[in-house]
Amino acid sequence: MSSPLRSRGRQAALLAGVLALVTTACGGGPDGAGGGQQTAESGAIPDNHAVLESVQADPQLTAALPAALAKSKTLRLASNIQSAPNNFYSADGKTPIGYEVDIAKAIGAKLGVTVTHQDLAFGSLITSLQSGRVEATMAAMNDTAERQQQIDFVDYFSSGITIMTRKGNPDAITGPDTLCGKNVAVVQGTSHQKFATAQSTKCTQAGKQAITVTATDSDTQNQNQLRTGRVAAILNDLPSAVYISRTAGEGKFFEVVPGQPIEGGPYGIGFAKNNAKLRDTVKQALQELITDGTYGKILQSWGVEQGAVKEAAVNGGS
């Protein structure tokens, strides 16, 4: 799960690094990591217009909306739009895109409302709900027990630590146990570093070689080391790793080791504590999208289907 120690500087460095490798912007930094507003060329993103246009409004859900939203027919959603592939800007520098944006649009279509995005600092998202500035937030925010004291969540994605290797996986890394004896890059002060250190201890306790943990200041440094073979793998968050592997060098540099995210936890759409009616209506809308396959198509188009949840849950994080 994303560490709160992950800084905006790390995200900016990640974005800068991938921009140096490819012409499309890349990001990754859920749970508060952000960077300068970046854009992506259209070739780097899927076209989900047909999928979204196929979503039909559910009259029962529309009727269940809070009165103010039913009248305005506009759901104000706050995000931190600088984290590919979660949410970032298209080539025009103005249009929000990403798998979160597509999910939000699909939920809006199911409710019979239009979703508008407000690009806010991550640290102000919770207060924007509490003040009534927006009705919901969606910004790769981890649903945690601590945050549940302030707001409610509808969980829509499960992220966690993912292993990224060079294309072709020359070191035959298939999971955490195969990292023993390898050199693994992480960003200093993140949950990734903590996990790698703990995994190294497990290796030695099992009579295997320790992991050589290389902690750097940025994902940019890690990607360069992986490309040149100085490390065998990078630990990163699922969405970031997937997007980097698909876009860096037009997909020729890196790949993600298959499997469920390590130490995974849910991302949640946020709602004010006094807005349970909207929370529950959005939960039902998301569940319908999961059931009818729309949700899965969106995630698959962005390559992040590993993080799919089987059912929408309220405050499912811990």
pLDDT (0 to 100) of residue 235: 96
Where in the sequence of the chain do the CATH 3.40.190.10 domains occur? 8-159+265-312, 161-262
Architecture of domain 161-262: 3-Layer(aba) Sandwich (3.40)
Return d(Cα 131, Cα 126) in angstroms, integer.
9
**What is the predicted pLDDT for the residue at 34?**
32
The answer to whether 38 and 19 have CB atoms below 8 angstroms apart is: yes
Share of the chain above pLDDT 90, in %: 72
Let me know if 296 is exposed, middle or buried by CB neighbors in 10 A (0-12, 13-18, 19+): middle
* Residue 236 predicted with pLDDT over 50: yes
User: In terms of DSSP bridges, do strands 74-79 and 136-137 run parallel, antiparallel, or are they unpaired?
Assistant: parallel
Tens of pLDDT, residue by residue over 168-194, are: 999 999 999 999 999 999 988 888 999
pTM value is 0.78
203 three-state secondary structure = helix
Residue 44: band (very low, low, confident or very high) from pLDDT cuts 50, 70, 90: low
pLDDT above 70 (res 3): no
Cα-trace Rg, the chain: 19
Q: Specify the range with the lowest mean pLDDT, choosing from 3-12, 44-53, 141-150.
A: 3-12
Rounded CA separation 257/269 (Å): 28
Query: Tell me, which fold does domain 8-159+265-312 have in CATH?
Result: D-Maltodextrin-Binding Protein; domain 2 (3.40.190)
DSSP H or E stretch at residue 152: strand 151-166
The whole-angstrom separation of Cα 307 and Cα 258 is 11
Q: Burial letters for 176-213: b for 16+ Cβ neighbours within 10 Å, e otherwise?
A: bebbbebbbbbbebbbbbebbeebbeebeeeeeebbeb
Strands 254-256 and 151-166: antiparallel
> Position of tokens 């290797």?
165
Closest CA to 265 of 141, 138, 148, 158: 158
**Using CA atoms, how far apart are residues 190 and 116, in angstroms rounded to an integer?**
32
pLDDT for position 23: 29
